[in-house]
Amino acid sequence: MTSDLLLAGAGLANSLIALAVAEARPSARILLLDRAPGPSDLHTWSHHLTDLSADWLRRLAPARRATWPDQEVRFPDHARRLRAGYAALDGTGLARLLCDRGIEIRWNARITALDATGATLADGTRLGAACVVDGRGGRPSPHLVTGFQKFLGLELETPAPHGIARPCIMDATVSQQDGYRFIYLLPFSATRLLIEDTRYSDGPDLDEAALVAEVLRYADAKGWQGAREIRRERGILPIALAHDARAFWADHATGAVPVGLRAGLFHPVTGYSLPVAADVADVVADVAARAPALTTDTLRRAVQAHAIARADRDRFLRLLSRMMFRGCAPDQRRRLLSRFYRLPEGLIERFYAGRLTWPDRLRIVTGKPPIPIRTALACLPESPLLQEKS
Ligand SMILES: Cc1cc2nc3c(=O)[nH]c(=O)nc-3n(C[C@H](O)[C@H](O)[C@H](O)COP(=O)(O)OP(=O)(O)OC[C@H]3O[C@@H](n4cnc5c(N)ncnc54)[C@H](O)[C@@H]3O)c2cc1C
């Protein structure tokens, strides 16, 4: 054995697992393997401060690139400042944090075979471990039906202060194209701004050149001409419409334990995964702290039970995704979102954190129906979408 815990992929899910286990079981020898040449600044992982426990806020604080005290949304018929704080991590900060905690990450380590006892690298090296976790990112599954959240972001240095004081997580006053479209703004400094053109679309195609042009057009319209591009990020995230977690885990009864996007562990409506990854990392850390030995099979039982319970709890969120993608014409999706952002702030915070209460759920679906009742009823069952796919 070369390590106690081998984490395949040094992305978000596995980085959080490494941090939590390093605290829970300081003697554990943890090794992360990633095919990338080094940490990437292609990612900013944002989250609402209300998404995370006090332990996670403390643990991740050194990796934060920015923190803001509040945020806002804008729609054609209303705008609103939201009181929840917001923060963004980046790949470099997260990798540095792991390094500071003495956790080993091996870059340029492309895994060609992975099983419950270890990994084989492209150069033929075999690395064994008592416990092996697969966090190598998303992969299509017959047990998960998705729509897409696609985005292209440019981080710009503006020649003069841009005047954006707080994150605007949705500026949906823009023209609607390719589904629900909005602009996401993160002001990293008075002259540094991430502008992201985002669409909730039925298909995964992303025309990068067209989206870049849209971002620059938005910047021009706001008076930010002459801005210099510093960085760009793009993503095509799954939005869960239907998920059969029991069938997924039945297919993963052997081999390394899947986590992160690979295990369908993300927020069904936003496609974001930081809070979900933190919860999974807590489960792994709990096993590491309590079990006499951390093994692949012990961990599988715990992660599987957590993932299935979460998928059951997320049923309502997947219904919301179906109402948006299947119950609503693409150009009508904005109406649904506009209505949602008029709801009480506590509810909005619990929605993002994936902790909606039963009264919250009732509150979301009662009142003037955002889509016709008959259409809403047709969205209720999840199984037809899974059957369609198989
Ligand atoms: C540009 C972008 C921005 C995003 N922003 C946010 C955000 O703000 N907030 C949020 O919560 N979510 C965000 N997401 C969504 C989601 O949280 C991320 O996709 C998240 O990184 C998923 O975590 P993961 O660990 O499952 O996979 P990843 O973080 O993608 O990690 C997978 C890792 O596995 C490695 N790998 C893959 N194959 C191999 C192999 N064969 N051998 C070795 N290594 C391998 C990859 O190099 C990668 O580092 C964003 C996604 C993208 C693409």
Q: Where are the domains of the chain?
A: 3-64+88-142+244-313, 144-240, 315-389
For residue 223, give both structure tokens: 């008076």
The CA distance from 139 to 310, in Å, is 19
The per-residue pLDDT for 21 is 98
- Taking only Cα atoms into account, the Rg of the chain, rounded to an integer number of angstroms, comes to 21
232 CB less than 6 Å from ligand 1?
A: no
Question: How many angstroms is it from 61 CA to the middle of ligand 1?
Answer: 20
Q: Which of 265, 329, 211, 238 lies closest to 11 in space, CA to CA? A: 265
The dihedral through the CA atoms of 29, 101, 10, 123 has a sign that is negative
Beta bridge partners of 283: none
Give the number of other Cβ atoms within 10 Å of residue 22's Cβ: 20
Atom of ligand 1 nearest to the CA of 235: 53
The per-residue pLDDT for 369 is 63
Question: How many angstroms is it from 272 CA to the middle of ligand 1?
Answer: 10
Give the number of other Cβ atoms within 10 Å of residue 302's Cβ: 18
273 CB less than 6 Å from ligand 1?
A: yes
Atom of ligand 1 nearest to the CA of 15: 25
The CA distance from 133 to 306, in Å, is 15
Strands 126-134 and 3-8, how do they pair? parallel
- The residue behind tokens 């095919």 is 35
Question: How many angstroms is it from 137 CA to the middle of ligand 1?
Answer: 5
Atom of ligand 1 nearest to the CA of 275: 11
248 CB less than 6 Å from ligand 1?
A: no
Find all residues with CB under 8 Å of 273, minimum gap 6, and list them: 12, 13, 260, 261, 265, 266, 267
43 CB less than 6 Å from ligand 1?
A: yes
The per-residue pLDDT for 2 is 81
Coil/strand/helix, residue 183: strand
The CA distance from 214 to 115, in Å, is 44
CA 219, 224, 227 angle in degrees (round to 5)?
A: 95
Question: How many angstroms is it from 218 CA to the middle of ligand 1?
Answer: 27
38 CB less than 6 Å from ligand 1?
A: no
The per-residue pLDDT for 41 is 79
Task: Note whether 350 and 357 are within 8 A (CB).
Answer: yes
For residue 368, give both structure tokens: 């003037």
Pocket of ligand 1, candidates 67, 98, 114, 237: which has the most ligand atoms within 8 Å of its Cβ, to mutate? Answer: 237
The CA distance from 132 to 14, in Å, is 11
274 CB less than 6 Å from ligand 1?
A: yes
Question: How many angstroms is it from 223 CA to the middle of ligand 1?
Answer: 33
Question: How many angstroms is it from 339 CA to the middle of ligand 1?
Answer: 31
Q: What's the topology of domain 3-64+88-142+244-313?
A: FAD/NAD(P)-binding domain (3.50.50)
129 CB less than 6 Å from ligand 1?
A: no
147 CB less than 6 Å from ligand 1?
A: no
Atom of ligand 1 nearest to the CA of 236: 53
390 residues of the chain, pLDDT tens digit each: 589 999 999 999 999 999 999 999 999 999 999 999 999 878 889 999 999 999 999 999 999 999 999 999 999 999 999 999 999 999 999 999 999 999 999 999 999 999 999 999 999 999 999 999 999 999 999 999 999 999 999 999 999 999 999 999 999 999 998 889 999 999 999 999 999 999 999 889 999 999 999 999 999 999 999 999 999 999 999 999 999 999 999 999 999 999 999 999 999 999 999 999 999 999 999 999 998 889 999 999 999 999 999 999 999 999 999 988 988 888 788 988 999 999 999 999 999 999 999 999 999 988 776 677 777 778 788 988 888 877
272 CB less than 6 Å from ligand 1?
A: yes
Question: How many angstroms is it from 228 CA to the middle of ligand 1?
Answer: 26
Find all residues with CB under 8 Å of 191, minimum gap 6, and list them: 157, 158, 159, 160, 161, 162
Task: Note whether 201 and 148 are within 8 A (CB).
Answer: yes
Question: How many angstroms is it from 11 CA to the middle of ligand 1?
Answer: 5
The CA distance from 333 to 114, in Å, is 41
The per-residue pLDDT for 326 is 87
150 CB less than 6 Å from ligand 1?
A: no
Atom of ligand 1 nearest to the CA of 271: 15
Query: DSSP for 243-305?
Result: E-HHHHHHHTSSSSEE-GGGGT-S-TTT---HHHHHHHHHHHHHHHHHSSS--HHHHHHHHHH
Query: DSSP for 41-65?
Result: SS-EEEEEGGGS-HHHHHHHGGGEE
The CA distance from 352 to 360, in Å, is 12
Q: Class of 144-240 per CATH?
A: alpha beta
Strands 144-157 and 228-243, how do they pair? antiparallel
The per-residue pLDDT for 1 is 56
Residue with CA at minimum distance from ligand 1 atom 31: 11
The CA distance from 64 to 79, in Å, is 27
Q: Helix, strand, coil: what percent of the chain each, to 5?
A: 40, 30, 35
Question: How many angstroms is it from 36 CA to the middle of ligand 1?
Answer: 12
Tell me the helices (H) and strands (E) count for the chain, helix number first: 13, 17
Pocket of ligand 1, candidates 34, 139, 211: which has the most ligand atoms within 8 Å of its Cβ, to mutate? Answer: 34
Atom of ligand 1 nearest to the CA of 88: 8
Where are the extended beta strands (E) located within 116-171? 118-121, 126-134, 144-157, 168-171
